[in-house]
């Protein structure tokens, strides 16, 4: 309401990136479970270090598969997680609304995973964890929001699923390493192509000379 009464100014030129993690954890409920409720899963948005994100997130809308009633769930308090039981995998939509009304919500699509990949024997103790690191990039955020974002999280939030969360601290370096290797490999491949290209040029020159010689003789 405040936003509509006094137009807030955007902080020109400012860019803030906030790391978050979108994920889902699914427990198999064992062989005796109801076939329609074979798994209990939790989808969530969390801070990359389990920090409390409610300092800039007002609420999160979870849009489930149509077979769930209601298919839209709103979570207004941290931790922003939603637990359900079901039997199938689908693409979950998580829409994040920010404390500042001026900022449009962001929509994340999360593929819910219930079964281990690659396929193996399910066990009730070992959950299927599917997490994606994500960064929310705020360009020219409203002044107030910028101040909030700069201040950062005030506390962490504890949940019982915490022990299954993945650690992304080394991932960036690993991914960069992989990309670097891949680029090197591509570069060497291109070099190989260039090598062959030069060979062809040489061979071609010789053949053209030969053809010229032969056609003159005829």
Partner 1 sequence: MTQSLYNFSEGVETEDSVRNITREGRGTRSPIYGRDWTLLANSVSVFPSVPLGLYTDRPISHWNWKASPNTTREDKLELFHWSRSDKEEEDWISNFNKSAKILKYTDSEYEVVCQEANNDSSWSREETDLLFQLCEKYNLRFTVIYDRWPDERRSLEDLKNRYYSIARKLAEIRKFEPSAKNSVLFKQAQALIANPFDADYERRRKDQLEKAFQLSKKELDKEESTVREARQIEADRKRRAKERQRIQKLLAKGGDIRHPASVRLVHSIEYPSNQKEQSSNRHRHPQVGNASLSDKYDRKGNFPRRRYHPGVFERSSIIYTPISHSQRNIRRMEGFLEELGVGLRPMPTATVVEEFASLRLDILNYFEAEKALVRKEWDLHNLKVKLSKLRGEEPPPVPAILAESSRKQEDTVVTTSHRKRRKRL
> Which residue, 126 or 135, is less far from partner 1 as judged by CB?
135
Three-state DSSP class for 123? coil
Distance from C-alpha of 116 to C-alpha of 128, rounded to nearest angstrom:
6
Give the angle 137-52-41 at the CA atoms, nearest 5°.
95
Are 106 and 136 contacting, i.e. CB atoms less than 8 angstroms apart? yes
Cis check for the bond before 118: say yes or no (omega within 30 of 0).
yes
CB atoms within 10 A of CB 57: 23
Query: Of 151 and 200, which has the nearer Cβ to partner 1?
Result: 200
Q: Which of residues 84-123 bind partner 1 (CB under 8 A)?
A: 95, 98, 103-109
Shortest distance in whole angstroms from residue 33 CB to partner 1: 31
Q: Which of 74, 147, 166, 207 binds partner 1 (CB under 8 A)?
A: 207
CA distances for 209 relative to 69, 198, 205, 217, angstroms: 79, 17, 6, 13
Q: Residue 162 or residue 181: which is nearer to partner 1 going by CB?
A: 181
Of 132, 153, 159, 164, the one binding partner 1 by CB under 8 A: 132
Which spans of this chain sit near partner 1 (rule: CB under 8 A)? 10, 17, 19, 95, 98, 103-109, 132-141, 168, 171-172, 175-176, 178-183, 185-187, 189-190, 193-194, 196-198, 200-201, 203-204, 207-208, 210-211, 214-215, 218
């Amino acid at each position: 309401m405040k936003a509509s009464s006094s137009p807030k100014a955007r902080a020109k030129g400012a860019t803030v990136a906030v790391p978050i993690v979108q994920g889902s954890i699914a427990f198999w409920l064992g062989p005796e479970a109801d076939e329609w409720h074979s798994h209990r899963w939790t989808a969530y948005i969390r801070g990359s270090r389990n920090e409390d994100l409610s300092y800039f997130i007002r609420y999160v809308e979870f849009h489930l598969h149509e077979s769930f009633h209601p298919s839209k769930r709103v979570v207004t308090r941290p931790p922003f997680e939603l637990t359900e039981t079901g039997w199938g995998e689908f693409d979950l939509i998580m829409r994040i609304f920010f404390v500042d009304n001026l900022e449009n919500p962001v929509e994340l699509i999360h593929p819910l995973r219930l079964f281990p990949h690659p396929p193996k024997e399910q066990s009730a103790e070992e959950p299927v964890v599917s997490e994606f690191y994500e960064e929310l990039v705020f360009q020219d955020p409203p002044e107030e929001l910028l101040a909030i974002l700069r201040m950062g999280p005030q506390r962490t939030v504890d949940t019982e699923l915490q022990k299954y969360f993945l650690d992304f601290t080394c991932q960036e370096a690993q991914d960069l390493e992989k990309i670097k290797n891949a680029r090197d490999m591509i570069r060497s491949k291109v070099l190989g192509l260039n090598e062959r290209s030069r060979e062809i040029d040489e061979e071609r020159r010789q053949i053209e000379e030969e053809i010229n010689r032969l056609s003159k003789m005829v």
